[in-house]
Every structure is written in structure tokens, then in C-alpha cells.
Amino acid sequence: MQTDPLSTAFSALADPTRRAMLARLSMGEATVNELAEPFAMTLPAVSKHLKVLERAGLVSRGRNAQFRPCRLEAGPLKDVAAWMEQYRRFWDDSFDRLDDYLKQIQHKERSDDA
Amino acid sequence: MQTDPLSTAFSALADPTRRAMLARLSMGEATVNELAEPFAMTLPAVSKHLKVLERAGLVSRGRNAQFRPCRLEAGPLKDVAAWMEQYRRFWDDSFDRLDDYLKQIQHKERSDDA
DNA sequence: TCTGTATTTTACCAATTAGCTAATTAACCT
DNA sequence: AGGTTAATTAGCTAATTGGTAAAATACAGA
């Protein structure tokens, strides 16, 4: 497997089960059993998916009695988004217009400061 | 492998070689040999990577004599970006402020219309 | 038609991944 | 201590991935 963080993140996201787990975690912490509940899959399989997400830094886990609550960590998502940004002009039709607009805003704010 | 387009796209992006190829293609069309040039890798290996990108819809290819020029197709990137968008609030500190700001703008424009 | 260039296909190998079941560890509660 | 629940580890199999070398295909030009 790749060792660079960006590849690890992309690879962790390349699975619908793992993306669904992240979606669940975006609504708050959850235990492994709670995360596993919607899936027709054994608990060890879920545990493995979690480890993939954890290794990618997308999930961290605490300790609460016999539970190991998982929570979303968005750092890697930020890196992915930053990578995506360089391609925005290829898919965002309004990018050029928005870009112009933001430049205008910045310009305006700068003259407001003065 | 997964069959859903989003997983296929993420999975195609989870390799530094393939991301480098996309970066090269973002500067314009290129042949397989041109794409292969920076890599310490045989041509068939590059060809396989290209097929992965093609299957993900990230690259399309034309035909020009014995050359098969590749070009970037950004559709799947748009889908990835759309998926990312639902997590933006977790990593973009300025998201809330920007969100408020955009709401203000919209409100202002609406009253301008009236 | 022959030759060289561009690219793909085939056959093969090693490493990884995703799933399972069974066994194990950890922590709680009587 | 004993029983229950939460979660992980171990060991297996099957499928996939990423690479190679060698052969095959497609085209251009002499």
C-alpha cells in the first residue's frame, strides 16, 4: 500500500461502508457496535474497517469502560480538499466568476481597512 | 473492488503515480509515453494506471495515428468535491463565518431585487 | 512490404485487502 | 469468582492490485 498520508486517506475513503461510518460519525461519537449495526457484516469486519479509518487519521477512539467510542477527525479531509482545490477550475463552472467576485471583495475590504 | 462511481474515483486517486498523471494532464493532453516519462516504471505499468483512471472516468483518450492522447475529465472530481462538501464544517474554520456571510449576501441581493 | 515507434495484451508473481469463524481480551455487574 | 457484553486478534480463503517480461497490435514512412 501507499505510505503517503494523502493516498492513505483516499484509499480509506474508497469504500462505501467506511464512508457510511464517517457519515454516522459526523452526527456524533459512536461505539463499534453502533457503527456496525446498519451493516450485514460481522463485527471483526467492522473493526478492520475502523482500523483503516484510524490509520488514515480519519477516526480517533477514546476509552469509556468497555466501550471504545469513535469520533470523526477531519484533518485528512482538509488535505484531500486542498488537493482537490487545484482542479476546481475543471469542474466548477462558476469558479472563474466566483474567483473574480472574491477578488473584488478582498479589494473592497482592503480599501475599507485603509 | 467497489462498483459505485464514488468509490472507484477515490480508489483511482489513492495512488501518487496516478495523481501525478492527473497533475500532468491538468496542463494539457499527453500521450502515454509523455505521461510515463517521469516515472521509474515500465510502460505496461503506466498503461494499467491509465486504465484505472479511465475506468474511473477521470481520463478519456482520443486517437491520433499510433498515439492515444489522454485528457483530464473532471466529472468524477466534481462528485468527490460534492461528497467532501458535507464535511466542510469539520475542517474549515472559516466555514461558519463564510456561511453567515453568504447568507447575508443572498439576503442583500434579495432585497436589492425587491 | 518491411521497419521502427507507440501502445496494449498476456502470463505470471508477490503483496494486500476484505470477508468469514473461532478464540481471546477487557470491563462491567452480580 | 462467574456471566455478559464490547471489541480485538488469529488464522483461513478468495479476490484485487501493482509490478514485470515477452509477445502482439496498430500505425507511419521508406
pLDDT reported for residue A114: 41
Q: What are the tens digits of pLDDT across the range A52-61?
A: 999 999 999 9
CA distance B89 to B95: 6
Using an 8 Å Cβ cutoff, are B22 and B53 in contact? yes
pLDDT reported for residue A99: 61
Q: What are the tens digits of pLDDT across the range B64-84?
A: 877 889 999 999 999 999 999
Proportion of chain B above pLDDT 70, given as a percent? 81
Asked if A53 is an interface residue toward chain B (Cβ–Cβ < 8 A), one would say no
| Cβ neighbours of B66 (radius 10 Å) | 6
Q: What are the tens digits of pLDDT across the range B31-61?
A: 999 999 999 999 999 999 999 999 999 999 9
Closest chain A residue to B73 measured between Cα atoms?
A: A90
pLDDT reported for residue B106: 61
Grid cell for residue A4: 503517503
Q: A14 vs B10: CB contact, 8 Å cut-off?
A: yes
Backbone angles phi, psi at B13, to 5 degrees: -80, -10
pLDDT band at A105 (very low <50, low <70, confident <90, very high): low
DSSP A27-89: TS-B-HHHHHTTSSS-HHHHHHHHHHHHHTTSEEE--BTTB--EEE--HHHHHHHHHHHTTHH
Q: What 3-state DSSP class applies to B87?
A: coil
Residue B13 has pLDDT above 80, yes or no: yes
Dihedral angle sign, alpha carbons of residues A84, A87, A93, A99 = positive
Distances (CA, A) of B88 to A7, A76, A90, B7: 20, 12, 20, 19
Q: What is the mean pLDDT of residues A89-99?
A: 72
CATH number 3.40.50.620 is the correct assignment for the domain at A5-87: no
Q: A78 vs B72: CB contact, 8 Å cut-off?
A: no
Contacts of B5 in chain A (CB under 8 A): none
Q: B74 vs A91: CB contact, 8 Å cut-off?
A: yes
CATH code that applies to domain B5-73: 1.10.10.10
pLDDT reported for residue B73: 95
For residue A100, the surrounding DSSP H or E stretch is helix A95-113
In the stretch 4-23 of chain B, residues with CB closer than 8 A to chain A read 4, 6-8, 10-11, 13-16, 19, 22-23
Q: B83 vs A16: CB contact, 8 Å cut-off?
A: no
Q: Which of A16, A26, A78 sits opposite B7 (nearest CB)?
A: A16
User: Integer distance in angstroms from CA B31 to C1' D29?
Assistant: 20
Instruction: Tell me which residue has cell 501507499.
Output: A2
pLDDT reported for residue A111: 56
